[in-house]
Structure 1
């Protein structure tokens, strides 16, 4: 009996299903226009907007290194002992100030000997001119005496130069660094005695991507900060742009000058900076509209109810937006939401309708 009840129940379920499909709602589906139903199923809901021109100032963030306006290692050209030290560490000096004197006794003796020989040869040359006038001396003898006098004059100049090499002076105004020699110590050629830096103005060198090369020019303002002075902002201006782009990093080195009369900045310091240029107009789209494929960038442009894939060239970026250099214009409708469900030619249903789609603001 239980089997009969189950069989009857199964027959009832099958009959109801057949009625629903063939005589009920199923018949309504068959009567709906195929074209309308298919079109609704294929349309992908998206949000579209027009690109818009916006103010977009040139703003570059970079890392830079501080360098002195002028910087040099003070060294000696000759090997000798230190006879006198005339500077104090960390003090300001002027161009021409004597910093160090080396032992010059031997150089002075050589100079005295050269000057004596020069005086003697000059006296002989003057007497020989009188003898030449009376024909008591040949022209060849006169020329030889003149050559001897000139050679002795050259020896005097050389001896004086060797003496001057033992007096080391400041080549420009600046601040001397730490002293690396002591009185009586032997100095070798090339050994660093101290350093000299002109810190009245410092250079800040930083690298900028080549994308901004056409917009870089002397006079642009920068604002820099250092971890040594977290609450201070140092302002400066671009002084020059390097003539070469690094083939590895594709960046160009830019040099800015910062007034440093307070001597807060020192060579070698690390700084973060922002470079800004006056505002310009740029055609902008939300970043969500960009579809990257390999090394190329695409967007979907809505036309005639379908999404058409189009390659674009991107420029600068800022949070949430990207500059469009080529590929679309401000009259195009671009899909900004729903791109993951699209391919070229997909039918789309634009939210609020195409005429109501709003431009990016």
Structure 2
């Protein structure tokens, strides 16, 4: 054997350390290649955003759906909210002298008639005063009868010359004074009885008791304030807060539909008064809408109202076509050059059929129905009329 053959390096045996190192390097390289392929695929798939408008046949101009809404005669509707209240609320307090309350005969929610007793004040002292006044009438009446008898006797003696005419005049004056004292006593008794009657707190008119602020045993006086409040005739009203411009479109007598919050019941009302004053902060006025009595109508409650206003000739658009920003409401229309143009509008009433455009559109414009938020003014588009395939 030569020296060269003696120095030849033997091949790595299977399972040796060198063999394992080579296999490990091959797996690392393979893993790096696979990871790179996955990353490249993700980049290629996510590198482009989906265009908000469909471009067909390779065209770069976005297609948008447009509609010429036209103009129709529409019944104007004004929607508003407000607070329920008694149309004519009557506060009731102490009219007479006052005193300790003996009994209270009604509760909030009761219906009362005119003159019905609501509460009774103790009158034990006043009853004794009434008896004394009644006795004074009898005393005055006796004095008057005696004075009349003396005058009659004097008249019989004056013809015989036993009594002078001056005595007759004096006796006549005495009789007249006694008769006057009878009238005074009777008037004083009538006053006392009237004061005693005021110790009964009564309803001035028929209606619904709204509040009660008195209890038996309480001492009340004319300065005690309102003890009861009554809605005269049970009539209610809605104090609807309506915008300045819309208030002018409502006439007295306009019919409306009221829906109290928390219920699906609806009630018919009629505008009987419009506020002559507009709030400087909210630019709103109040329309007072009369309602007939119903137990579901509670003063202080919140309700919505729908009022019929004058008919208008205007376009109507779906909600998706109307946009708004800090400059107000607007729509995008497509002009004759197929470019997007911003058109400011004024929104009218809202219903299930759409939104009425009170001003800003004639009805023959091509209005962008959807995706207006993705457009910019002056952009070139390809309009597609709604309903076309």
Is the TM value for this pair above 0.5? yes
Q: Write the distance in 1 (CA, Å) between the matches of 2:271 and 2:141.
A: 54
SS at match of 1:213: helix
**Which residue is 2:117 aligned to?**
98
Matched, 1:60 2:79: yes
Taking a change above 3 Å as real, the CA distance of residues 118 and 310 of structure 1, as seen in their structure-2 partners, is farther
Cα shift at 1:237: 1.1
**Which residue is 1:342 aligned to?**
376
**Which residue is 2:259 aligned to?**
224
Say whether the 8 Å CA contact 1:63–1:206 is kept in structure 2: yes
> Aligned match of 1:209 in 243, 247, 251?
243
Taking a change above 3 Å as real, the CA distance of residues 250 and 233 of structure 1, as seen in their structure-2 partners, is same
Q: Write the distance in 2 (CA, Å) between the matches of 1:206 and 1:247.
A: 17
Q: Write the distance in 1 (CA, Å) between the matches of 2:267 and 2:113.
A: 27
Matched, 1:325 2:343: no
> Aligned match of 1:46 in 64, 81, 92?
64
Taking a change above 3 Å as real, the CA distance of residues 68 and 75 of structure 1, as seen in their structure-2 partners, is farther
Cα shift at 1:235: 1.5
Q: Write the distance in 1 (CA, Å) between the matches of 2:70 and 2:261.
A: 37
Q: Cα deviation per residue 1:212-264 (whole Å; 9 max; x = unaligned)? A: 3133332413142453xx4x514221232431333333333333333335x34
Say whether the 8 Å CA contact 1:298–1:312 is kept in structure 2: yes
> Aligned match of 1:108 in 114, 130, 138?
130
Matched, 1:75 2:75: no
In the TM superposition, 1:36-185 aligns within 5 A as 45-54=63-72, 55=74, 57-60=76-79, 62-67=81-86, 70-82=89-101, 85=103, 87-89=105-107, 91-102=110-121, 103=123, 104-105=126-127, 108=130, 162-176=195-209, 178=212, 180-182=214-216, 185=218
Q: Cα deviation per residue 1:37-73 (whole Å; 9 max; x = unaligned)? A: xxx87x5543332232244551525253343654434
Say whether the 8 Å CA contact 1:238–1:254 is kept in structure 2: no
SS at match of 1:108: helix
Say whether the 8 Å CA contact 2:208–2:232 is kept in structure 1: yes
TM-align CA RMSD: 4.8
> Aligned match of 2:271 in 214, 239, 246?
239
Q: Write the distance in 1 (CA, Å) between the matches of 2:363 and 2:308.
A: 24
Say whether the 8 Å CA contact 1:282–1:323 is kept in structure 2: yes
Taking a change above 3 Å as real, the CA distance of residues 278 and 326 of structure 1, as seen in their structure-2 partners, is closer
Matched, 1:187 2:205: no
Cα shift at 1:192: 4.9
Structure 2: runs of 5 or more not aligned:
1-58, 149-164
Matched, 1:296 2:356: no
Q: Cα deviation per residue 1:172-201 (whole Å; 9 max; x = unaligned)? A: 11355657332x653232255444444643
Q: Is the deviation greater in 216-225 or in 66-75?
A: 66-75
TM-score, normalising length from structure 2? 0.57
TM-score, normalising length from structure 1? 0.60
Aligned positions, number: 297
Cα shift at 1:324: 2.2
Q: Which has the higher strand share?
A: 1
**Rg larger for:** 2
Cα shift at 1:95: 1.0
SS at match of 2:356: strand
Say whether the 8 Å CA contact 2:87–2:290 is kept in structure 1: no
Cα shift at 1:289: 4.0
Q: Write the distance in 2 (CA, Å) between the matches of 1:264 and 1:293.
A: 41
Cα shift at 1:94: 1.9
Cα shift at 1:335: 3.3
Structure 1: runs of 5 or more not aligned:
1-39, 127-133
SS at match of 1:328: coil
**Which residue is 2:293 aligned to?**
260
Q: Write the distance in 2 (CA, Å) between the matches of 1:170 and 1:99.
A: 7
